[in-house]
Amino acid sequence: MRIEIWADVVCPWAYIGKRRLERALASWQGDPVEVVWRPYRIDPSAPTPGEPLAEVLRDPMVDAALRGCAPDLTPGENRERVSRIALAEGLGPRWGAGWRSSSHDAHRLIALAHEAGGTRLQDAVAEEVMRAHFVDALDISLPAVLDEVSRRAGFPASGGLLADGEGDTAVRELVLRGRAAGVATSPTFVVNGAALRGAQPPEVIHDFLVEAARRAPRQLPEEVERFRHAEALLDLGDPLGALTLLGPLLDAHGDDRGTRLLAARAYFHSAQLTRALRILEPLAAETPDDSYVQLLLGRTLQRQGDSPRAAAHLRLAAAMSPGYAD
């Protein structure tokens, strides 16, 4: 059984959740499990190199945002509460991040560790990354810090891979796939299509695993899963993310009508009208009785200011599907 942990390594609850999952698995008597770490970003705008967190926390806007996360506590009281919880989970005795820094390269390192050595190495790297951030208070966006982290975890070859940009595309795609699948909390545990959000107590995680183990594993072909995630991103208002996931499908299955139409929709909604037209005009010629293609082609031409041509396609769409009439 595969347990996916969608989490950001700069999220304290991710580290706490890791310990709680380990405690839940200590009494696990079901099928063998593998734990795979997946990337999630709680602060995509965090910089590289990082900035001292003490300075960030003095910003009134940051203070207000943190108060919104825990309205009954001041930001300082909330950090103290999390520190006590972390200490109870054996994470300490010192606890607390020292830097607001991008976690992108740390996620690349974790993904590369899985490719190189499977789940055991990946888990060791994830552990060392979070220890560096929360216990050692280091800036995990720095290559030198990640190099030391990977050496401690038994992955000394990672430095060259990170320098060469390896893992960048994979991590960006995984973040998009997580969003498409509905991941909105760090950590989120996903097993056989079921999800548990947050660093829940070990007994809650254990009960979740028992229930999720009863579900049939979801095994969709990679191309189908990629298409569905791209479609979900478009529905979520992220056409550029959808196009990112569609790229490999367009390269491998550029003649597939469904893939082309989804790409045209994404181009239209991201205002890439010329690219949308390059797909829609051949589609309209191939299937002139498809009212939706006629509608989308008409609206694309309309946005480009070609009203006469747009009107012809919009009239045709409305004639076939009256609901499309303006």
Phi, psi of 157 (to 5 degrees): -80, 0
CA dihedral 46, 64, 187, 234 (to 10 degrees): -70
Percent of the chain residues topping a pLDDT of 90? 84
Read off the amino acid at residue 75.
P
**Residue 210, number of CB atoms within 10 A of its CB:** 13
pLDDT at 68 over 60: no
Tell me if 2-213 shares its fold with 222-324.
Answer: no
**pLDDT (mean) for 135-145:** 97
For 95-110, what is the mean pLDDT?
96
Nearest of 39, 26, 30 to residue 2 by alpha carbon:
30
Read off the tokens for 65: 């945002």
Task: Show the 3-state SS of the chain.
Answer: CEEEEEECCCCHHHHHHHHHHHHHHHCCCCCCCEEEEEECCCCCCCCCCCEEHHHHHCCHHHHHHHHHHCCCCCHHHHHHHHHHHHHHCCCCCCCCCCEECCCHHHHHHHHHHHHHHHHHHHHHHHHHHHHHHHCCCCCCCCHHHHHHHHHHHCCCCHHHHHHCCCCHHHHHHHHHHHHHCCCCCCCEEEECCEEEECCCCHHHHHHHHHHHHCCCCCCCCHHHHHHHHHHHHHHCCCHHHHHHHHHHHHHHCCCCHHHHHHHHHHHHHCCCHHHHHHHHHHHHHHCCCCHHHHHHHHHHHHHCCCHHHHHHHHHHHHHHCHHHCC
How confident is the model at residue 73, as a pLDDT? 67
What are the sequence ranges of the domains in the chain? 2-213, 222-324
pLDDT at res. 71? 56
Superfamily of domain 222-324: Tetratricopeptide repeat domain (1.25.40.10)
Mean pLDDT of 186-194: 96
159: nearest Cα among 172, 143, 171 = 143
For residue range 150-161, what is the model confidence (pLDDT) as tens digits?
A: 999 999 989 899
Cα–Cα dist 173/241, whole Å:
8
Q: What is the fold of 2-213? A: Glutaredoxin (3.40.30)
Average pLDDT, stretch 205-228?
92
Mean pLDDT is lowest, of 48-62, 136-150, 299-313, for 48-62
pLDDT at 67 over 70: no
Q: Using one digit for the tens of pLDDT, what is the confidence trace for 34-66?
A: 999 999 999 999 999 999 988 887 776 665 544
Is the pLDDT assigned to residue 70 strictly greater than 70?
A: no
